[in-house]
Amino acid sequence: MFDIVRKEVLNPSVKLMGVKAPHIAKKARAGQFVILRVSENGERIPLTIADYDREEGTITIIFQEVGKTTKLLGMLNEGDSILDLVGPLGVPTHYGEVKKAAVVGGGLGTAIAYPQAKELFNMGATVDVILGFRNKDLIILEKEMKEVSRRLFIATDDGSNGNKGFVSDILKKLLEEGNKYDLVIAIGPLIMMKVVSEITREYGISTIVSMNPIMIDGTGMCGGCRVTVGGKTRFACVDGPDFDGHEVDFDEAIKRQQMYREEEKKATEQYEHECKLKL
């Protein structure tokens, strides 16, 4: 059992939890994730380690309530416990020599982009952060991102924060203005990462994307998280989740992401109609 020591509501559907997990916190690095189960009969889901405190022995997870398991997780409060928590899993991000970087986050991808920006900032790199959300009410981690960046740009699809547009538009404008980056990290919806990778390809900028396919065991055994990178099959749980954005087959990944939408919908509908007293 892993105790929840902190809980925050970041927006109507996104929650942050601090979880006591000293062995995971001791080894966690940017780019890695955990797999958890809320209950004994529950499914296993992966969540990125958004932050960690080695001294306190805690890790931070941020999740959006979109399916049955994340909604059950969201019902837990400080003082409650998560049944299983395994990690850190995945390959830590390898940055190389980076003096100037752009970190691009879309929606909930901001939670995954934050530890990347923080790590680069702590390495001494100059970091520009670009974030995109559907509207101003969904903006998360603005304060935290300001603390680990030189410049922070936030755009919304509807312009409700005063800056209408997409993250790709901002990145392209910065590049056209002559900003030079050693590395771009893009994390968010697949289509966003695809567009950003297409832009950076034109400028010859090394680009890292974080893939989030369906994942079950986290050890490479089930094969559910396979992605095609550079024409070869790779597994996000053990080979990633970071990959070269210029080599990922995004079209295939987008199709695979849609495979279980009907099953996910049914599971959510079943959860919403169950009596909560039975859970």
pLDDT digits (tens, 9 = 90+) for 120-145: 999 999 999 999 999 999 999 999 99
How much is the pLDDT for 276? 54
Provide the β-strand partners of residue 82: 2
Render the burial of 237-273: b for 16+ CB within 10 Å, e for the rest: bebbbbbebbebebeebeebeeeeeeeeeeebeeeee
Instruction: Check whether 265 has a pLDDT greater than 70.
Output: no
How much is the pLDDT for 210? 93
Q: What whole-number distance in Å separates Cα of residue 129 and Cα of residue 146? A: 8
What is the per-residue DSSP string for 214-248?
--SSSSSSS-TTEEEETTEEEEHHHH-SEEETTTB
Q: Which residue has the higher pLDDT, 67 or 8?
A: 8
In angstroms, the first-to-last Cα distance of the chain is 17
- Per DSSP, the chain holds a count of helices (H) and strands (E) of 9, 16
Sign of the CA dihedral running 71, 135, 252, 258: positive
Q: What are 248-257's pLDDT values in tens digits? A: 999 999 888 7
pTM, entire model: 0.86
Please report the domains of the chain, with CATH numbers, ordered by start residue.
Answer: 2-89 (2.40.30.10), 100-257 (3.40.50.80)
Tokens at 197, concatenated: 């990778």
Q: What are 222-237's pLDDT values in tens digits? A: 787 889 999 999 998 8
How much is the pLDDT for 260? 63
Q: What are 189-218's pLDDT values in tens digits? A: 999 999 999 999 999 999 999 998 777 777
Instruction: Check whether 43 has a pLDDT greater than 90.
Output: no
Q: What pairing do the DSSP bridges indicate for beta strands 2-11 and 81-82?
A: antiparallel
Instruction: Check whether 93 has a pLDDT greater than 80.
Output: yes
Q: By three-state DSSP, how is residue 199 classified? A: helix
Residue 235 identity: F
Q: Residue 116 — pLDDT band, cuts 50, 70, 90?
A: very high
Let me know: does 248 contact 201? Beta carbons within 8 Å.
Answer: no
Q: What are 57-91's pLDDT values in tens digits? A: 999 999 998 888 899 999 999 999 999 999 899 99
How much is the pLDDT for 256? 84
Residue 65 identity: E
- List Cβ neighbours of 94 (8 Å cut-off, separation of 6 or more): 242
Tokens at 148, concatenated: 């680990």
How much is the pLDDT for 68? 86
